[in-house]
Amino acid sequence: MNIVLEIVKYCIFFRIIWIDLKKRIIPEESFVILLVLGFILAIENTNLEGYYLGICAYSMPMIVLYILEDYFGKTLIGFGDVKLMMGIGGILGYFGVEKIVNFYMILYIFSGIVAFLFLFLKKWKKYEYIPFAPFIIISYVIFEIFGK
């Protein structure tokens, strides 16, 4: 059963990356499937509390960033990125603030380095749209490999 869930999870991740790169949107059905996968894992591990807290805790910094958009008057992230973090938080579950901080450190350092390289190599322009979902998903994979 776990191998099937892993295959489905990574297929959904690939689909999210593909659509975000092509259409600049994260599909709703992918977000719902991630939530369901997290719920199945929570039931399997008898950790429904960790599932709910993971959804809340992992998405909270993104929600703050999304709210700051109004203050700065610039689009920083889309709400699809917030929903993606909710799905990833549900899959990861809550195991303490330290894990969340480690995940966000991986996310921001990795995305900052890649964005700097793409800007330096002139692949992206300074104010061009940069999809954030691929960075979130690759950071999740890195976190799964090294963070646990």
Q: Which residue ranges make up each domain of the chain?
A: 2-147
Q: Are 133 and 81 in contact (CB under 8 A)?
A: yes
pLDDT at 97: 93
How confident is the model over 104-120, as a mean pLDDT? 88
How do residues 58-79 score in pLDDT, each as one tens digit?
999 999 988 888 788 777 788 8
Tell me whether residue 104 is exposed, middle or buried, using C-beta atoms within 10 angstroms of its C-beta: 0 to 12, 13 to 18, 19 or more. middle
Cα–Cα distances in angstroms (integers) from residue 44 to residues 13, 56, 95, in the given order:
21, 20, 16
Longest alpha-carbon distance in the chain: 49
| C-alpha–C-alpha distance, residues 58 and 96, integer Å | 11
Q: Residue 136 has what pLDDT?
A: 94
Q: Dump pLDDT digits (tens) for 7-44.
A: 999 999 999 999 998 998 889 999 999 999 999 999 99
Tell me the mean pLDDT in the region 102-130. Answer: 82
Q: DSSP character for 147?
A: I
> What's the confidence (pLDDT) of residue 126?
64
Rounded to whole angstroms, the Cα distance separating 147 from 142 reads: 7
Q: Each residue of 90-101: pLDDT tens digit?
A: 999 998 899 999
Work out whether the CA dihedral 27, 29, 35, 37 comes out positive or negative.
Answer: negative
CB 54 within 8 A of CB 84: no
Q: Using the predicted structure, report yes or no on whether residue 88 has a pLDDT greater than 90.
A: yes
* Amino acid 33: pLDDT: 94
**Residue 16 structure tokens:** 């999210």
